[in-house]
A and B are shown apart, each in its own frame.
Chain A
């Protein structure tokens, strides 16, 4: 059920305000995030989970050892110094909080990811599909319950519930949401390209029988949700390389500390186990090791805040490497519709004038473009100051290249191609 959200301009609420201020991402619910993260930070102390991160695992093992020498300071041979228990206890405390804070950071990042995913999930439109039952009857089911091999019937005006293959019928389908191509595409059975349909596109005429070819939960929104949740997060190439470097550094310092003890014994200043562990934790790349997974999840979160759909962790990394952005004229994930953004008055006319005239010209235009002009004009305070029933809408045609309205008082309002309008004004 590859249901791309903006199925059709007619059914989608159009965004308002300048583009820069629009935020498509739904509000993330962060309530209770920190309480859960604190709890998770302790749950993650489970050695099984800790061992996934070698650097922090080492710190965790160190914490346990210092805890043991806090209870029995002479565990690894006698030690000097006053109050070794207090000293070891303090080190234990510091190491323990290091581990817990690393877990906490990861838990917060994961929590934010989950909240983001929940928000995304709520935007998934749940279309009703007419599933063809084995006995030939149709039943209305939710598109999320469709599985590969199911057959559905779609008729003009429906949104195709999932990716599939046409097995019967001929129909034109509006694929602008996916391909950006505004002209409807003819779909029929038998041919390669023309027989496959994509979930989220809209059938405009006639009807089709479709065999579903994808299972639920494989659509791109689902993939995105899985990514921000961190569930399907594979390590990126740079992350792997960095992990190698960190592991090597940790190993080097492990050798350093292991060999320090006999050398220090030789000069008669033995170093206690707690001090060795503290030194080890200070030398190994603890902070970066502890925060690495949190950074990865945070990046995903961050990218989705900018309305960028990252299909993998690798893609986030690639974002940093982008030098040149090449755009197809329509793009693939655009609405494929033109929208009015602002009016530019010329020749000393006021914004109000132009808004009123634009509204009058577009009031019968029910293309997405016309509707957006109406919306913008209304936002600027324009209103229809004539009797709608008396007015006559002039359709756009390829010959005149203009459309508009003939007002009841005889005025003719037009909009269209620049030279067509020039000619129109000259005649008038």
Chain B
């Protein structure tokens, strides 16, 4: 047990140490200050701007920024879709894979375009090497850079600066942040044993004499941006649980940190932009505290294991179903909370097999979207909650609410409300439709409360642009592909437009001088109130669903466990015990995990 908690503590300690360093570096990049990489990158960027015809210093309004973003994404989406649909005739396709169905292809491209990387397929049996690196990995870079650009534009707007130029921000995010760090982490992963090859699958003859194909490919490069960019789409179906994607504890540590570093650092970047490090640290610790609590809840649940199984077997063991033994309960619990918190969506164990407390924490993260949050957008969401808190507390003290010397008025509240409204709509409505017609549409493997969790998780993961799967859904169907596309697009672009317009309207406001009567937003009290507002506004909406999903399941396990102890017949078959196929996931790489 101690070893497990030590692993978690060490990872978080490194995170706290590197977040301010990264944050300062990101701030320098986007404030246009000189960095160490300047001499190498300047000519590269110059060439890109010249080729693309971008006048680098032109600032955009919120709406121009949003338009530039939408058009760029549309073009990249069309490129990706053509690539995946014509992969059969294109090179670098050693296993001779053909195009997927039109809706699976569309879902895959939109999913990677929106930084979600929800996968209704297994990479090794569906996607050629060319599509993996030129299509999906390309979209991983651009979608992460898009998110980062939005986050930076939002911070600029809040602090009264012009929003900047989308094309410049997009380019800088890639050339100065994502690409250098990806190269370093890819090399580290390579050293630690992750393969990087264009060779076709290895063919081996087993001891029994059977022939086995072992899938491989250019994984190390793919893996680093998958985690750093909060993408999470695995090269293989089982994602980072696969021994080629994440072979040992060392790679697991690097990959966990890669997931967390940029979202955590962006809060510090805000502190540099706003010249208020105190507030940045307070917010950092607030998010950190929520994160720790969720990790704790999940880790303890996994450590204690399933009480029914333990009482039947008469042993005390942690829940190792759906986990890689080389990671154990602690690293899997930390990863599960980190991957859902940062909207990464890569998995190193099956979330379907987590205890109900784990299901609760992961869903909770996806509902809030700010426990570090997605690349760039997570920080923006955090500040939207802060703006709402300023508004509510400002009204309580009887003053017109101000945030960073700018008045919060109707327009800001409308835009912030749009962000608040979008998430429940794109989660709850499709979930309700799917569950209203379970026989024809859902394809749920575990009926009952666990089934509710599965369906809700699928849509939440899509709308929050996370991409991890609770699994157990037969999700490569026309219904699941198309309905999740709606959630993917709605959950990504509507909030981004609202965020940019909000930033624009904040930037254009006349700052009011700060006086003794101004409500200070960098106090411990205010941060505490913010945490309360986040929990109330963010979770209250989803509480009925949480109650019918993981909470009901937890009570069910508890009550059945008591009946086992008192030798009563077990009436309720627990969903957890109904999944013999779950462990097989890990043995059969071509079963999908990150659906």
Contacts and interface: CB of A to CB of B under 8 A. Distances in A.
B47 interface: no
Interface residues of B, number: 43
A259 B429 contact: yes
A245 B552 CA distance: 31
B420 A323 contact: no
Contacts of A263: 431-432, 435, 452, 456, 544-545, 548
23 contacts: A240-B410, A241-B409, A244-B414, A245-B413, A252-B421, A253-B541, A255-B424, A255-B425, A256-B541, A256-B542, A256-B545, A259-B428, A260-B548, A262-B433, A263-B432, A266-B435, A266-B438, A267-B448, A267-B451, A279-B544, A320-B397, A320-B400, A321-B400
A323 B517 contact: yes
B569 interface: no
Interface in B396-443: 397-401, 408-410, 412-414, 417, 420-421, 424-425, 428-429, 431-433, 435-436, 438
B435 A262 contact: yes
Interface of B: 388, 391, 395, 397-401, 408-410, 412-414, 417, 420-421, 424-425, 428-429, 431-433, 435-436, 438, 448-449, 451-452, 456, 515-517, 537, 540-542, 544-545, 548, 552
Contacts of A242: 391, 395, 413
Contacts of B409: 237, 241
A237 B438 contact: no
A172 to B, nearest CB: 44
Chain A interface main SS type:
helix
* Closest 3 A/B residue pairs (Cβ): A259-B432, A248-B417, A320-B398
A237 B394 CA distance: 13
Given A248-B420, A283-B540, A320-B400, A241 B452 contact: no
A258 interface: yes
Contact of B544 (A249, A252, A260): A260
A267 B552 contact: yes
Nearest to A324: B515
A252 B449 CA distance: 23
B548 A317 contact: no
A267 B391 contact: no
Contacts of B388: 245
B541 A252 contact: yes
A4 B400 CA distance: 31
Contacts of B515: 323-324
A266 B548 CA distance: 10
Given A244-B410, A256-B544, A262-B435, 8 more contacts: A237-B410, A242-B395, A245-B417, A256-B541, A256-B542, A317-B400, A320-B400, A321-B399
B431 A323 contact: no
Task: Name the residue among A263, A265, A279 with the largest chain B CB count within 10 angstroms.
Answer: A263
A252 B420 contact: yes
B432 A262 contact: yes
B223 to A, nearest CB: 37
A251 interface: yes
Contact of B516 (A264, A320, A323): A323
Given A256-B428, A258-B432, A283-B540, A238 B438 contact: no
Contact of A245 (B391, B397, B432, B517): B391
Contacts of B420: 248, 252
A244 B417 contact: yes
Interface in A249-300: 249, 251-253, 255-267, 269, 279, 283
Nearest to B516: A323
Nearest to B518: A323
B400 A238 contact: yes
B432 A248 contact: no
Nearest to A261: B432
Contacts of A269: 548
Contacts of B432: 258-263
Nearest to A262: B436
Contact of A255 (B395, B408, B429, B436): B429
A379 B432 CA distance: 80
A320 B428 contact: no
A267 B435 CA distance: 9
Nearest to A260: B544
A180 to B, nearest CB: 28
A320 B398 CA distance: 5
Contacts of B541: 252-253, 256
Contact of A241 (B408, B456, B517, B552): B408
Given A258-B432, A259-B431, A241 B424 contact: no
A63 B502 CA distance: 38
Nearest to B552: A267
A278 to B, nearest CB: 13
A52 to B, nearest CB: 18
A238 B421 contact: no
B187 to A, nearest CB: 46
Contacts of A317: 400
A248 to B, nearest CB: 4
Task: Name the residue among A256, A258, A279 with the largest chain B CB count within 10 angstroms.
Answer: A256
B410 A241 contact: yes
Given A237-B410, A238-B400, A252-B541, A266 B517 contact: no
Contacts of A259: 428-429, 431-432
Contact of A244 (B400, B413, B517, B545): B413
B230 to A, nearest CB: 26
Task: Name the residue among A238, A255, A256 with the largest chain B CB count within 10 angstroms.
Answer: A238
Contacts of B397: 320
A292 to B, nearest CB: 11
A317 B452 CA distance: 47
A302 B417 CA distance: 32
A45 B177 CA distance: 61
A264 B432 CA distance: 9
Nearest to B414: A244
Contacts of B540: 283
A240 B542 CA distance: 27
A380 B326 CA distance: 95
Interface string A232-244: 0000011011101
Contacts of B410: 237, 240-241, 244
A267 B414 contact: no
Contacts of A248: 417, 420-421
Interface in A315-336: 317, 320-321, 323-324
B424 A252 contact: yes
Contact of A238 (B395, B414, B428, B448): B395
A173 B553 CA distance: 85
B541 to A, nearest CB: 6
Nearest to B416: A245
Task: Name the residue among A249, A259, A320 with the largest chain B CB count within 10 angstroms.
Answer: A259
Contacts of B425: 255
Contacts of B436: 262, 265-266
A238 B393 CA distance: 12
A138 B408 CA distance: 58
Contacts of B424: 252, 255-256
Contacts of A261: 432
A294 B96 CA distance: 72
Contacts of A324: 515
Contact of A251 (B401, B413, B421, B433): B421
B560 to A, nearest CB: 16
A301 to B, nearest CB: 15
B106 to A, nearest CB: 26
B548 A264 contact: yes
B493 to A, nearest CB: 19
A343 B517 CA distance: 37
Contacts of B516: 323
A247 to B, nearest CB: 8
A94 to B, nearest CB: 20
Nearest to A268: B448
Task: Name the residue among B413, B449, B515, B542 with the largest chain A CB count within 10 angstroms.
Answer: B413
A359 to B, nearest CB: 46
Nearest to A299: B398
